[in-house]
């Protein structure tokens, strides 16, 4: 059950407005061809996750991918025993059809979805993948459905951050934090979410220094990593733990920019690269070699070559790698000139077909080996006679 932070922190609640901002994203069926505002942009982007037990999650993959493809929806969805997670994009009607399918899955009727808009399709293809975890932390036994931190609505987040006893931790990866973060947040400088448990254990002594009991607040892009991060921290024995309900995306959508404590832009895992307040598409671009967000200063660096290298990865790449990146970039530009999508929009189907072909070939080879063994046995039997 979600316990409001007002009940957990009455000394701060008295300073907060007794209301919550509820944002409803309008779904337009006929977007204007020329976008005048963010809501007029033609593509609907839906970010979603739900922790719910799927007994046979493998069986959910094919029908889910089929409904996405039938409605022209692209993106990535992850399925695991613990639930579903992902971001998809398409027309308003297409997204509505896919969400109707997802809400019919076990435990997903009330799945929370964060909507934004994009001027172009932000994904190249549709991928539905099977995983051990829908967000990988690698800590066995964690169940965010049973014990997580206290949810703090975006409208009340600033009051928590402005309290001097609050320790604010950004649970995202280092390349995401570069694009923007909350004022005063600690950056663990992790390369992946798997590194967060070790980082926390190494710095736990600092957080509880001088015998104080820390009030820990955590945040991430859409909220899913904080579900596991707060569950982990509570399992480590700290109870005064809070996290931003709906993540950065809901905060940027609902909190006016003039009242915001967010600095910079928010990294997202699609072709938009970043979004700003109001979830407007951001200004940063992406290094196609290392996937780091790039500022104007990065683009002006002599170490930047489009699609090949940037100041963040130039020293880490070999000449052979840069040559491969250069060829990939050349092929991508040629495909764009022909009006095609480089890498293809159906790579999942290609991989699946090749996998089936390999299995069929393995089965054929097995039959041939068994036939050869039987022939040898028959020859040996005749010789013995």
> To 5 degrees, how large is the angle CA 181–CA 289–CA 125?
85
> To 5 degrees, how large is the angle CA 325–CA 195–CA 113?
80
CA–CA distance, 181 with 172 (Å, rounded to integer): 10
| DSSP string of 163-206, one letter each residue | STTEEEEE-S-HHHHTTEEETT-B----SSGGGHHHHHHHHHHH
Sequence-ordered list of residues with C-beta below 8 angstroms from that of 265, at least 6 positions apart, any chain:
179, 180, 274, 275, 276, 282, 283, 284, 293
Contact 5, 13 (CB under 8 A): yes
**Sheet containing 74-80, strands listed edge to edge, beginning at the edge strand earlier in sequence:** 112-118, 43-51, 83-90, 74-80, 126-130
Neighbouring C-alpha atoms within 13 Å toward the C-beta of 96: 8
| DSSP string of 334-369, one letter each residue | HHHHTT--TT-S-HHHHHHHHHHHHHHHHHHHHHHH
φ, ψ of residue 314 in degrees (nearest 5): -55, -45
CA–CA distance, 93 with 116 (Å, rounded to integer): 15
Burial 280-319 (b: 16+ CB within 10 A, else e): bbbebbbbebbebbbbeebeeeeebbbbbbbbbbbeebee
Contact 217, 181 (CB under 8 A): no
The answer to whether residue 220 is catalytic is: yes
Among 220, 226, 310, 313, the one annotated catalytic: 220
For the annotated catalytic residues, the residue numbers are 220
């Amino acid at each position: 059950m979600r316990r409001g932070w007002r009940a957990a922190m009455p000394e701060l609640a008295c300073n907060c407005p007794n209301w919550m901002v509820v944002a409803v994203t309008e779904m337009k069926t006929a977007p204007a061809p020329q976008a005048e505002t963010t809501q007029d942009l033609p593509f609907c982007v839906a970010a979603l996750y739900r922790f719910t037990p799927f007994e046979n999650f493998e069986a959910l993959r094919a029908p889910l991918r089929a409904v996405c493809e039938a409605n022209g929806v692209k993106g990535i969805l992850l399925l695991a025993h613990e639930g579903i997670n992902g971001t998809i994009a398409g027309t308003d009607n297409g997204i509505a059809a896919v969400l109707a399918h997802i809400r019919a899955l076990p435990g997903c009727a009330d799945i929370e979805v964060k909507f934004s808009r994009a001027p172009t399709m932000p994904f190249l293809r549709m991928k539905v993948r099977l995983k051990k975890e829908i967000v990988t932390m690698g800590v066995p036994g964690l169940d965010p459905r049973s014990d997580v931190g206290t949810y703090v609505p975006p409208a009340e987040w600033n009051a928590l951050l402005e309290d001097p006893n609050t320790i604010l931790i950004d649970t995202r990866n280092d390349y995401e934090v570069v694009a923007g973060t909350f004022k005063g947040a600690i950056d663990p400088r992790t390369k992946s979410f798997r590194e967060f448990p070790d980082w926390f254990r190494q710095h736990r002594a600092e957080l509880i220094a001088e015998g104080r009991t820390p009030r820990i607040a955590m945040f991430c892009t859409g909220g899913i990593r904080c579900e596991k991060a707060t569950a982990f921290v509570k399992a480590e024995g700290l109870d005064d733990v809070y996290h931003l309900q709906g993540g950065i995306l809901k905060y940027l959508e609902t909190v006016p920019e003039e009242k915001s404590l967010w600095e910079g832009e928010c990294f997202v895992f699609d072709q938009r690269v970043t979004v700003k307040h109001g979830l407007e598409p951001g200004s940063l671009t992406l290094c196609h070699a290392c996937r780091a967000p790039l500022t104007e200063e990065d683009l002006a660096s002599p170490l930047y070559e489009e699609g090949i290298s940037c100041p963040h990865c130039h020293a880490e790449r070999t000449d052979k790698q840069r040559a491969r990146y250069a060829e990939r970039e050349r092929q991508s530009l040629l495909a764009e000139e022909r009006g095609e999508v480089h890498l293809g929009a159906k790579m999942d189907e290609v991989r699946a077909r090749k996998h089936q072909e390999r299995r069929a070939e393995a089965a054929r080879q097995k039959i041939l080996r068994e036939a050869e063994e039987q022939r040898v046995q028959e020859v040996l039997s005749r010789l013995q006679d």
